[in-house]
Every structure is written in C-alpha cells, then in structure tokens.
Structure 1
Amino acid sequence: MPPRIAPDRGAPRGRGRGGPPRGARGGAGRGVIPVGLPSIGANIQTIGVKRPDYGKAGRALAVYTNSYVTSIPDHIIRHYDIAIDPSNLATRLNTILIKKLQMEVAPDVFTPSAVYDGRKNMFAARELPLGPTNSREFDVTLAPAGTTVSERPPKIYKVKVTKVNEINPEVLTQFVQGRYSHDNMVLTAIMSLNVVVRMHPSENYPYNARSFFTNKETKDIGKGIELWRGYFQSVRPGIGRMLINVDISTGMMYKPGPLISLCLEFLGQTKPEMLSPARGMPDRERLRLQRFLSGLRVAINYTPAGNRQSPPRVIKKLSTAGADVTSFQLRDGTTQTVARYFQTLGNRPLRFPHLLCVEVGRGALLPLEVCIVPPGQIMKKQLPPEKTKDVLDFSTKKPQERFQSIKNGLEILAYGQSEYIRQFGMSVETQPGFLPISSRVLDPPTLKYGPGSRQPTIKPRDGAWNMIDKRFFDPKVIERWVVVIYEGERRFSQQVAKDMIKGLVDGCKSVGMIVRDENPLVKWENGQGRIAQQLRNAGMECVARTKGPPNLIVVVLPDGGNDIYTAVKHFGDVTMGVATQCLKAAKCSRAKPQYWANVCLKQLGGINTIPEPTSVAVLSDPHNPTIVLGADVIHPAPGTEGRPSFTSVVGNVDSDNAKYIATTSVQTSRQEMIDDLQSMCKKILSMYIGYRASVEKKPKPTAPKRLIFFRDGVSEGQFQQVLDLELPLIKAACTELNIKPKITVVVVGKRHNVRFVPQDERQADRSGNCPAGTVVDREVGHPTEFDFFLQSHGGLLGTSRPAHYSVLYDENGFNADSMQALAFALCHVYARSTRSVSIPAPVYYADIVCSRAKNHYDPSGTLDFSDTATQTGDEANITLEAFKKAYQPLHANMSKVMYFQ
C-alpha cells in the first residue's frame, strides 16, 4: 500500500454555470409544418409567455437543421431513485457501482438492464422486482484502489433502489401537440429519454454531461493536452414531435503516458530535474502544475511481483519535497522516506528519487515516475490562453463540413444498435437525413448616419456595411489628448509615432470627429514602472501645456502587454475618469485608413449610427418611449474557488436606442441571479429620464413607457427564478422612481447546439452559412411558449450559431414579427463594428462590461486574478470577501459615456 500522510482538506472542486441550455426543439412529422398555429389549450400552464402567433415577415428560405425525428415510447417507463452510501462519490464511480450491481450482483432483478444517469435517477422499461415495498438495498463490493490481495478487505457500498414514479409517455405526445403543461412529469419524461440515448455511448467512450468523445480524430496541441472529436446529443420536444439534436463537440484530454512526461510538457521543460524542489523548481511552478493535475487519474506501474495491477487513483495535490526526503509513518510506528518504501516494494531503487510525489486518495503518496496517465481523461480546467487558437482551428468547421461530420458520427452513435433504445421502444429516423424545415430571412433595418455623409442612410447587405464617405450621427470632439508609448523607441520611433498620430487624426476627420490639437504630447515610458503615476504625469504635462486636462489618453502597448492594459483601464475608468484607447504597437505601426476608421468607432462615447426611425417603428415610436436593458453575469473559471461573480446592466439613455451606459457590481461566486438588480436598474432609468430632459430637451414626462429587459446567460432551468427573483426587482426600481413602464423580459441564449444550413447552397452567404436575418420559429421551437432562433449576423469562420430568444414576460403585447424585428434591429447598433452582431447590442455590451470588471481592482493590489488561483474552505470565503471589499466603483465621469466601446 502506498505511504500516507495526515488527512488534508481535500482537493478543490470546480463548478460550472448551472443548468442545461434550452437546446434544440423540433416540429411534427418530417417536412414543413402547416402555417396555422396549433391550438394551445387555455388551461395550459407555461413558464414563459404563450406563443401569440408565428412570424410572417421576410422571404422564405428552406434550411436543414442538425436534428433527427425520434419516436415517443408507447409503454410506461418506471422511474427509480438511487441512493448510494457513501453519498459523495464521483459520477464515474457511481456508474461503475450500478453496472456491477446490474451485471454481477443482481442480474435477475435487472434484466433487461435499466439506464442510469450517474447520479440519482434510474429508468427501466419494465417493473423491477424489488418486493412489496418497491424498494430494496443491495451490497456492492469493490476492492479499494491501490491495495494488494493481502491488505485491507474490499469496500462494501450500500445501493438502495426505490421506485418513485411511473411515467406515461403519452404526456410527451400531448405536450408537443400543445395540449399539456410544461410540468415536472414532462421534464422527467424528457430526462428519461436523454438517459436512454446516452447510455450506450457512455459505456464505451469518455463522456461529460451531454457529449462523448472518441480518439478517431485527435490533435496534439502541446502543454500535455490532446483534442478529441466528440458528439453532442439531446432529446428535445418540438411542435408536434420529439427530436434528437446532434452536433459535434471538442474534448480537451490529458495526454496519456508517463506522468513525468506530462508534467514536463505542461511546464515546457525537458529535464526531469526541473520537477525537483531541491534542484530549483520554483514553488509557483509547483502550484501551477498542481492545479493542472488535480483530479487526474493515474495508474501505478510499480507493484510487487505477483500482485495485481492497481486501479487508477485520483491526484489531489503535489508534495512540497522530493520522494527522497518526504517521510511518512509506518503502521509499526517507524518512519520511512517514500523513495525507500518504493525501493523495498519493488526491489529496485527509483530512477528519480528527488522528484515530487503526487498525493492520492486518503493521503497516499506516489512518486511521479511510478505513475502512468491512462488515455481518455477529460481535462476540466481552463485552457491555457495561448492554446485557444489551436482549439478554434480544430473545432471550427464550415457548415457543410460540420453537417457531414455529424452524419459521419451516426455510425458511432449507432441508435439502431443500442439495446437500450430498442427495449424502451424508441426509434430514431436517421435514414432520411437532416430535418428539413422552413425559415425566413428578415429585411435589415435602415441605418442613419450624420450630416455630411455622402450616403446618409444605408441598408446593410449580408450583415455588413462600410464607413466610406459616412459621418458619425453624433461625433465627439477630442479637445486635448496625450500619447503614451510602452514600446521601445528603437522599435517604435518618433517617425512611426508621427505617422500613427496622423493616421488617427485623419481617421477622426473622415468620420466627422473634430481633433482640436493635431500635435499631442507624446511620451515613451517603461512598462515595468508605475503605470498610473506615468499616466498621471502625462496628464499634468498636458495641463501645463494646454491649460486643461486631456479627455483622451492613447496608449501604445507592446506584445504581451496585458498587465499594462489592465493598469491603463483601471486608471482611466476608475481612478481619473478619462477615456483611454489602447493600441497594439504591431497593428498601429503603418496601419491603413481602414484600421483607423475602426479605432474611431470606439472613441469617447459618441453615437456612430442609429436605426432610421421609420424602419424600426417598435423602437422609435414617440408615443411609447422605450428603454432597452441588457444584463449578464459571468462566473470564475471551472475549478477556481474564492473568486466572485461579476454582474452588469446596460441600457440606452437616448430616444434612438444607440447611446448606452452601464453599471456593474460584484457578488457571491457562481450565483446567477443578480443581487443588486434593483439599484442598477434604478440608476440607468434615472439617467435615461435625465438625458431625455437635459440633452434631448424632450417635454415632460420623460420616463419610458416601455421597458424591454434582455437577460443573457440564463439556462432554461433558471427561467422561473428570473420571474420570481429578478422581475420583482425591476418593478421595484420603477416604483422607487414613481414610473410605470410596461415590461417585457426576454432571455437570450447562445449555449445551445442548434445549427442551420441552407438546403440550396446557392442561397448561402459567402461563408456557406444562412444569410444574416435568418429566423426560425416553427419546427424547431417550444411547443407552447414564445421563442425563436435568430441568426442575425453574417458568417465569417465556421458555422454560425443562432441566438435563441425566449419571451418570459410581456406587458407590451409583442407579436412574433414585432419581437423578431426588434431583436434584429438591436443587433445593428453595436458601436464597435460595421457588421450586425449575433446578439442585441445591450446584451453584447453587458458581457463586455462583466469581462472588464476586473479593471475595477487596483492592479498593484495583492488579490490574485489568475483563473487558476484556487483556495479551499475558509480560505475561499475570506478571499471572496476581500474581492467584494476591494471592488472600486466606476468614476462618475465614465458613467455617462460608453467607456466599454
């Protein structure tokens, strides 16, 4: 048995964003569903708004979606609760126990085999003979990991199986036909079908919640990581039928082989000595390696002759010293080093006794060299930033290639060969191919530019337009500005700086911006110095020279200048309240006019363009002034403890829905509902009322009559929480201000696997994707609720992902056409680009504001912002409180401008 140390607090646990995405839904029967709306009974209860109608606007486009029709079982499904003692086991071990229970312990009870989700739920196609109480406890024996035949006795697990319900699949038939409410019975029935279709691949391949992965298509990207092609599948209800949504996915896997090799590759080293603390391994590198390895299973290849190979063990942490100096206490009370123990165990000395040990199980220590990494282990840590491009290259496929890859995966999915699918009476119609459905392509809104534009209004084409001969609708003035360069003067000379300044000035003039001083103060600084003080000094020189402070600081960054960027943004957004524009030295050196035009899109919070009022009546109705809010929450990376979640709310203050302001906050880690939503909404509503009165000079009352709240990042399992927890806070903010706008709440989802491709490739855009403005609200939609998919952006690389809109609450009485037009129009006012974007601009801005929230902390402080920083227990709570206390508010000057552009 491997040596053990005193019990520790355990390895850190990672948690992701809660709940499954809304995902794919389907229609009734193959082909196109009739135009008429299926009758939805008045007694049907929905979480969101009942679908009022189908959209009719736009031109028709026939598309395929990556789904297949599946039948609904015609017999009762039995639902059983599984209770395993101890109850805190990993899903993988739970699955092993239930498989042994069915195959070896009680095959007479579990024939044919039931399906199991790895946690609490088991479903059977027939009644299990559990006795008169419909409950029975079984003993399942597993040998403890890492023991030999003569050591500790096998461990006995108690598995209790209890019948909890019978599911009549007829509820699904009624539900997809709009005659049954979306209740727990329906949710459980859908869950049972998902467990059925995932059971076969989960027994044969590595898997996570809804995808499994094979080694038929892999890519080694270095750092000890391999990419494996995977397949996602999800049974979802649709309008009149059930579908299986199938997509390709990408799994990050630990590279198999000797653990020493994996460690060296991750650290970028070649010599084993670099894994020895006594020979120079820095403690920060040890901790970085520990975060990477925690949770990895390793097999032991160093066992006494005649004893069985030990099963894989899970790494908890790394030792602080080598095996030759790390001691432990034997059962007879004596002490021995780990290296000496393994020399005795295997009758041969370790080759690298000075290297680290891994701690596994309940304190057992294993030298690195005795450990082997088995293949097929999913890495659930955050990807190293430098490997992002490799993952994108592997996972990005053009639409036709993606759909072909899905079709190729049907052989692996093997629905027709799954004994589980057959015994539950299901069949999947893969033979006809992908599901053909109808869609429509909406007309884009007309966009209006400012005076002096040769073309004052334009109609985007394929989701894009350009700034040639166009002036901003409301350009801002650069009164005084300074340039601070953090690249060496040899690499970024005075002449390059002059050319850069001329390019920026010319770019500003081309879009109608006025630059008062065309020869700003230019300073070269050392990026290793105190950034805030350097910027403050530059501002003071500007005051001395021009008799006023700068209203813009342009900063030129070297490659890898992320720390400088963070310090600059903290100084501008929080400390001084001055606009900052960071430019990469490699890009702004000898840049072309188009580059400077793009930079100008982000300057000083002006209004670049607005939707032409007559083309988007729902936004510009003067009798119904409208405020549009976007809200988001972002959480720490998986496996990270002690870091907060950041929240943001963004809203327009102008009548044209083009000028936005933002507010942001910090809250408990991984909490999805926004705690401070009331105060955040109140602030934006107040500024909207003030702006319309003081800037636009609108007659009173200047309060909005319509409030449209777009919520990002919420899974379908959290829709009810939005209505129960967040909607009352929005209403309370309105009550505080004594206003009564009609409220509409819409969730915008991107975490789903629904894709579309034109049936006729000639109707695709240049990337092979559906054209911008493609909307689907019929076959792939909720049977009773108001939802739709909108692909609002033109394709660039890979297969475009449509956004999924779910209307949860609506006092404004939107129909399908008006809501879809509203969403599409808002995708065209994103100030950073001259392209329509994939989600409404306020939602996009909210995401950016959340991402920039770390700039609200003093960069010279002691808080660790590394996404792999990990604490456990009380440490995590203390650190979280420290993050909350250290959070600094946005400077008052920046609260009125689009600092997040």
Structure 2
Amino acid sequence: MPPRGDSRGGPRGAGPGRGTPRGASLARGGGRGGATTRLAHHAIPSSHITTVGVKRPGYGTGGRPLPIFVNSFVTSIPEDIIHHYDVISPSEKTLPARLNMDLIKALQLDVAPAIFTPPGVYDGRKNLFAARELPFGDGTNTKEFDVSLSSNRVNVGGRGPKVYKIRLTKVAEINPEVLKRFIAGDQSHDNTVLTAITVSSYLRSQLSPANDNISGKALNVVIRMEPTMKYPFNVRSFFTNRETKDIGSGLQLWRGYFQSVRPASGRMLINVDISTGTMYKAGPLLGLCLEFLNRSEPNALATSRGFPDRERLRLQRFISGIRVITKQPGADGTIQQTPRVIKKLSTAGANALNFTMREGGSMSVADYFHKTQNQKLKFPDVICVEVGSGALIPLELCIVPPGQIMRKQVPPEKTKDVLEFATKRPKDRLASIVDGLAVLAYGQSEYVRQFGMHVDSSGPLKVQARVLKPPVLRYGAGSKQPTIRFFRPAEVTGWCIIVYEQHRRFGESAAQDMIAGLTASFRDVGIRFPANYTPLVKWENGQGRIEDQLRTAGGDVNRRHGKPPNLLVVVLPEGGNDIYTAVKHFGDITMGVATQCLKSSKCFRAKPQYYANVSLK
C-alpha cells in the first residue's frame, strides 16, 4: 500500500480511481422510495395531430446543376417500440461517464444477462433504451441490481471489489412510426418526433450534452453505442489511434468521428464528420513529465536539486486529473493496480517525504516501496504524485494508460499543430470519413441490428446541387475599385510598437515593413494620424514585468513627441498568451489606452488585407 500524503495512520489505500473521461453519471437524484412511475406511451394518437407544417412549394431551378457528395449516409427507421428506462445509482455521487458505461456493460453481460438479451444502449448518464421490455418480473417497472467490476487487477488493501447499486425504472415507450410520418410530411414536428430521433442517435452515440432532453437522443444513441464502448469519447465524438500525430510536450493528436441522425425530406440520414482529440501520451509518467518540461535528466524534477516551484506548479496543472496505474511485483510477475487519478504533486522527493506507520515510527516513501514491495527507486530525489485518496506514489512507478483525452486548453504553442492536423481539403476530408466507416461498423454493430436499423455504408450520399450566379456588389459612389473607408474613423494622436519576439526573428526590417503596412492601411480606411510621425519601436523581454515595460515605452513617446500614445501595437511571439493577457490588462484596466496585439508570424510578408483587418479592430 502506498503511503498517504498526511500522517494519519500510516499507509492506507485508495478506492478505485475516478479517471477520465469525466461527465455526468448515473448517480443523480430521483426515484425516491419505491413509488411506481407512470409510463408515457408514445403511440400515434390521431387526435393530437391537428395541423401539419407547411410544406415547401417546390425546388429551385436557378443556377448551374452540379452533382455533389455530402458527408451523410441513408439509414432506415426502427419498426418496433423502443423502451426507455431511467438509470439511478442511489448511493453514489457523480461518476465518470466511462465508469458508468463499464458498470452498465457488466450489468448486462455478467450480472443479469437473461434480462438484458439483447442488450440495451446507454447514454452514460440517466437513460437506457431497450429493443424489448425488460422482464423484471412481478409485474413491476423497477428493479435494483448490485454490480461490481471484476478484473485481474490488484484491489487496494486486499479488499473485495466495490459494489455499486443500480436501479432501473421504465419511464416511456417510444413509437418510431411518428418519425416515419414526420419525414413523409404527414406528421407535425413535436416532442414525439424529437424523442424518436433521440433514440436513434442514442443508439449511435451514447453520450449527449447535459442540456439535451430525452427527445432527439434515441436513434443517435443506437449508432454511437458500439464505438463508445470501444474507444475514448467526449460529449460529441469518439477517437481512435488509426490516425495520430505526436506534437511534443507529452501530447498526441488522435483522429475522431462525430455522427448525428438527422431527418431529411423523405428519409433519415446519418451525418458523419471528422474531429480531433488531444491525448496524453501513453507510457511512463516520468517520461511524460520530462517531455512536457523539455528536460532529459529525471533528477531535474527533484526540488532538492533546484527544480523551481513555478515549474512544479505548471507541471501539476498539466497532469492533474490523469489516470495512472502502478506496477507491483507479484508471484506471477508484474501486476497492475486499479487506475488512480492524480490530484497534485508533492513538494519534496520520495526520500524526503516521511509518514507515520500504523505500528509506530516513521518511514520515507522511498524506504516504504523498497522494504514492503522490494522496489528500490532509481530516482529517490524526484517528486511524487498524490492521488485522490492521499496516497503518495513516486513518478517512476506510474504508467499512463493510452486513450486519455486532455480536457484542458491546448498550449498556445501547439495550436498551429492542432490546426494543421484538423484541417483537410474537402476531398481528403470525405476520404477520411469514408475510411472511418470501418470504425463506425454500422453493419457489425449488434446494437444497430437489434433495433432494426440498416445503414447504407456503401458510400456517401450523392445529391444534386446548384451553383447560383453570384450577386453584383457595388461599393462607394459607383466606383469600380473603391477604397472602403470607415464611417466614423478614429484618430491616432500617437503610437508606438513594442516587440516581444526575439530581435533575430523580428528585426528592424520586419518592424519597418509592419509600420509601412499599418500606416498605409490607416490611410486607406480613413484613420487619422500625425503627418511625418515616426513611431517608437522597442524590443522587450517577455519574462520581465510587462506593465513596467509598457509604461516606460509610453513615457519615451511622451518625451519624444510631447504627448503620450493613445495606441500601443504589441508584437507577440508564438505562445505569448501570458504576454497578451498582461498587455490587455494594462491597456483596458490600468491605463485605459488602446492596445493591438499582433503575432510576429502573421506580420512577415503580410498582405494589405491583413492590415485592413487589424485597422478594423
């Protein structure tokens, strides 16, 4: 058992980790007592269909016909009633969506397979759909189950697996016939239609935004169920390692897929698109930390050897929330423990962290692992991670499992890599979508089959489009080549440029080109500024105090031109978000002066249109 971060009672174990992906869980309020829930039968009562939406009068004929492929696939609509169940875990707090999915999977396959044959589909939260009414027995609509996740992993403290209570209550029956009538133009758009769409999507996608109501999930849940059980997922997409890119700093990009069931005229479609997920790199946690900090020597993470607290906190923000597994030697080799979630980093190394044993006396974390688990640390000076239970584990003993989505903001210096990976030409994008059909596996999905859905995965839908003749635009007073000017342009009484990019990357020549581009754009759009005005240009260090540097630049302008500037133009390096924030705080809050930040990479050989957009700001 790893030692805890405090000195209470020596080394105590942690419960099962609360790993990512996070999200709402099946542990939400509701279902007090044993009250019977009245079912909502979504039949087709003709009495409630009083009007039908106005149909379009016809299709347009203008323009040039053009056949195109769209990223959609035709699907059929289920024939039979779909049964909707509310899922509640009365004794649990909010659990991660992935854990909820694993619990429902264990319930259907291991705990009560006779009831869940064929298995239902689940959204990771509160809703489960079944293709038949679940035989709870005794004529009741509610049944409670005890579910545990059995595995060959070591359970902390040698205790038995944790038991979760799950209660299912039938709440509705959904008739897909209303959806058929809707797409045929014979049914109004109401909640019964939305509910049917939800079931299809539900089968497709299993996890929906928190503000979605039950309507609109059904068909989507059906088609998302299969990939959600196999791959990492978030609210809208799931991700595979079929197409990846290593972008450094301990991060990888994975290609993902988004899918949604949409009604169309006379048919139902599944819209499919690609997405991008940012993942933590799998492998030793120590290596991940070193890559993030751009270090190569493990002892660089030892506070006793000069590891700065600022860097430790930056690393802590990056890895907090990651699930890790630990290695323990056993009789049959290395055994992996239950995943645990990193809470924070220790302020000292494993050999300097002491805790009180239950039997009395104290022991360091490094000695504990050496004496009790025969694991002598290679880097005892390196800091430890503290997991949710308070247990302290050396970095070198932690492994990061694959497929963990980073839910924090992508580092600014990696934004360009993400955009390059996510951006594809239309032809390549459609090819990637078609290739992804093997992952979506509509034809092989038992969930899609059992609900009676049939997806035409032979190829994307081909439709007839029209290229319309572009309208004629006229600017100004009939001018053919006008200069568009602002209606009420501002006046620049004084300005200066502060450059935070390195001088060798953005030198005098680049600065003068930028000044020429800006002044020409100012003049074109009507912004007034002093004639023969040479703005001050200063190069500053972004590690310094930004506020003092900007204040000094303003004072220099005041001494040179007799009045302070009312515009500060700041050139930022890649990853200069902290500088940007400080500049805006100084301009908007401290001094009340206009500031305009430009990326140095955008200023090189910038076109007039770029400076025109800057002038508009």
Cα offsets for 1:198-232 (capped at 9, x unmatched):
11112222222332222222211111111222222
Task: Decide whether aligned partners of structure 1 residues 579 and 351 sit closer, same or farther in structure 2, where only a CA change above 3 A counts.
Answer: closer
Q: Aligned with 2:2: secondary structure?
A: coil
How large is the RMSD of aligned CA atoms in angstroms? 3.8
Moved more, 203-212 or 493-502: 493-502
Q: Quick one: which amino acid aligns to residue 163 of structure 1? A: K
User: How many percent identity over aligned positions?
Assistant: 50
Cα offsets for 1:798-844 (capped at 9, x unmatched):
xxxxxxxxxxxxxxxxxxxxxxxxxxxxxxxxx5xxxxxxxxxxxxx
User: Partner residue of 1:446?
Assistant: 473
Match of 1:261 among 273, 287, 302: 287
Match of 2:260 among 234, 252, 255: 234
Contact 2:356 2:363 in 1 (8 A): yes
Number of equivalences: 558
What CA distance in whole angstroms lies between the structure 1 residues aligned with 2:512 and 2:449? 73
Contact 1:67 1:243 in 2 (8 A): yes
Task: Indicate whether 1:4 and 2:4 are aligned.
Answer: yes
- After superposition, where does 1:814-893 map in structure 2 within 5 Å? 831=616
User: Partner residue of 1:222?
Assistant: 248
Deviation at 1:409, TM superposition (A): 1.3
User: Partner residue of 2:211?
Assistant: none
What CA distance in whole angstroms lies between the structure 2 residues aligned with 1:489 and 1:367? 39
Q: Aligned with 1:207: secondary structure?
A: coil
Q: TM-score, normalised by structure 1?
A: 0.56
Unaligned runs of 5+ in 2: 9-13, 25-48, 200-215
Task: Decide whether aligned partners of structure 1 residues 225 and 602 sit closer, same or farther in structure 2, where only a CA change above 3 A counts.
Answer: closer
Deviation at 1:532, TM superposition (A): 4.4
User: Partner residue of 1:183?
Assistant: 191
Q: Quick one: which amino acid aligns to residue 155 of structure 1? A: K
Deviation at 1:175, TM superposition (A): 3.1
User: Partner residue of 1:81?
Assistant: 86
Moved more, 149-158 or 487-496: 487-496
Match of 2:141 among 134, 146, 158: 134
Moved more, 318-327 or 501-510: 501-510
Unaligned runs of 5+ in 1: 18-40, 459-468, 604-830, 832-900
Contact 2:79 2:452 in 1 (8 A): yes
Task: Indicate whether 1:273 and 2:279 are aligned.
Answer: no
What CA distance in whole angstroms lies between the structure 2 residues aligned with 1:571 and 1:474? 29
Contact 2:259 2:271 in 1 (8 A): yes
Task: Decide whether aligned partners of structure 1 residues 186 and 276 sit closer, same or farther in structure 2, where only a CA change above 3 A counts.
Answer: same
User: Partner residue of 1:71?
Assistant: 76
Cα offsets for 1:537-593 (capped at 9, x unmatched):
25644663xxx765655556677665555555455555655554555667768x67x
Q: Aligned with 1:227: secondary structure?
A: strand
Q: Aligned with 1:517: secondary structure?
A: coil
Task: Decide whether aligned partners of structure 1 residues 556 and 266 sit closer, same or farther in structure 2, where only a CA change above 3 A counts.
Answer: closer
Contact 2:489 2:525 in 1 (8 A): no
Q: Aligned with 1:339: secondary structure?
A: helix
Contact 1:523 1:538 in 2 (8 A): no
Task: Decide whether aligned partners of structure 1 residues 192 and 582 sit closer, same or farther in structure 2, where only a CA change above 3 A counts.
Answer: closer
Q: TM-score, normalised by structure 2?
A: 0.79
User: Partner residue of 1:285?
Assistant: 311
Contact 1:489 1:524 in 2 (8 A): no
- After superposition, where does 1:393-542 map in structure 2 within 5 Å? 393-439=420-466, 441=468, 443-444=470-471, 446-449=473-476, 456-457=479-480, 470=483, 472=485, 474=487, 476=489, 478=491, 480-486=493-499, 504-509=518-523, 515-520=529-534, 522=536, 524=538, 526=540, 528=544, 530-538=548-556, 540-541=558-559
Cα offsets for 1:640-698 (capped at 9, x unmatched):
xxxxxxxxxxxxxxxxxxxxxxxxxxxxxxxxxxxxxxxxxxxxxxxxxxxxxxxxxxx
User: Partner residue of 2:102?
Assistant: 96
Deviation at 1:535, TM superposition (A): 4.7
Deviation at 1:264, TM superposition (A): 0.7
Contact 1:303 1:345 in 2 (8 A): no
Contact 2:349 2:381 in 1 (8 A): yes
Task: Decide whether aligned partners of structure 1 residues 166 and 101 sit closer, same or farther in structure 2, where only a CA change above 3 A counts.
Answer: same
User: Partner residue of 2:164?
Assistant: 157
User: Partner residue of 2:118?
Assistant: 112
What CA distance in whole angstroms lies between the structure 2 residues aligned with 1:559 and 1:198? 38
Task: Decide whether aligned partners of structure 1 residues 64 and 359 sit closer, same or farther in structure 2, where only a CA change above 3 A counts.
Answer: same
Deviation at 1:346, TM superposition (A): 2.5
Q: Quick one: which amino acid aligns to residue 311 of structure 1? A: T
Task: Decide whether aligned partners of structure 1 residues 51 and 360 sit closer, same or farther in structure 2, where only a CA change above 3 A counts.
Answer: farther
What CA distance in whole angstroms lies between the structure 1 residues aligned with 2:270 and 2:577? 43
Contact 1:222 1:266 in 2 (8 A): yes
Match of 2:399 among 372, 375, 399: 372
Q: Quick one: which amino acid aligns to residue 599 of structure 1? A: Y
Deviation at 1:422, TM superposition (A): 0.9
Task: Decide whether aligned partners of structure 1 residues 55 and 495 sit closer, same or farther in structure 2, where only a CA change above 3 A counts.
Answer: same
Contact 1:196 1:421 in 2 (8 A): yes
Task: Indicate whether 1:357 and 2:390 are aligned.
Answer: no
What CA distance in whole angstroms lies between the structure 2 residues aligned with 1:203 and 1:304? 31
Match of 1:251 among 277, 301, 326: 277
What CA distance in whole angstroms lies between the structure 1 residues aligned with 2:339 and 2:524? 65
Q: Quick one: which amino acid aligns to residue 551 of structure 2? A: Q
Q: Quick one: which amino acid aligns to residue 2 of structure 2? A: P
Contact 1:72 1:242 in 2 (8 A): yes
Cα offsets for 1:727-756 (capped at 9, x unmatched):
xxxxxxxxxxxxxxxxxxxxxxxxxxxxxx
User: Partner residue of 2:43?
Assistant: none
What CA distance in whole angstroms lies between the structure 2 residues aligned with 1:120 and 1:205? 21
Q: Aligned with 2:328: secondary structure?
A: coil
User: Partner residue of 2:611?
Assistant: 599
Deviation at 1:510, TM superposition (A): 5.4
Cα offsets for 1:125-145 (capped at 9, x unmatched):
111111211211111123699
